Amino acid sequence: MTARVQGSCHCGAQRFAAPAPTEVTHCNCSTCTKRGTEAAYYAPGEVEFSLTPDKLAAYEWGDRMMVFHHCVVCGCAVFAESDAWTTEAGEARPARITLNARLFDDFDLEPVSVRIVDGRNGW
């Protein structure tokens, strides 16, 4: 059984729980860099949310393939979500939830494997 971790934004208005990640992605694209995200990816059913909808804002940019959510009270980038899609090369990508692993409570990211992605210059 995989250990579960909990997390929240700084003020606690947005909370979540998910399996502890074994890998996070460090991406240098403009949105990940500016939001300070270390991404942990999940299938939608793996994440449990306890959200305060009136204190949660959504942001979409570029090709609109992802919706980024942040807390309007404390400003933390909490999660992103994307529908299933197919790349230009024909590779199927499943729907997923991307959690900001820096928001996990009492979880040491140091031993977790980090995948480096050059999102600034194309995946």
Give ∠ CA 91-97-99 in degrees, rounded to 5: 125
Distance CA 66, CA 36 (A): 17
* Mean pLDDT to the nearest integer, 60-78: 88
pLDDT band at 37 (very low <50, low <70, confident <90, very high): confident
pLDDT at 103 over 80: yes
**Looking at residue 87, what is its pLDDT?**
78
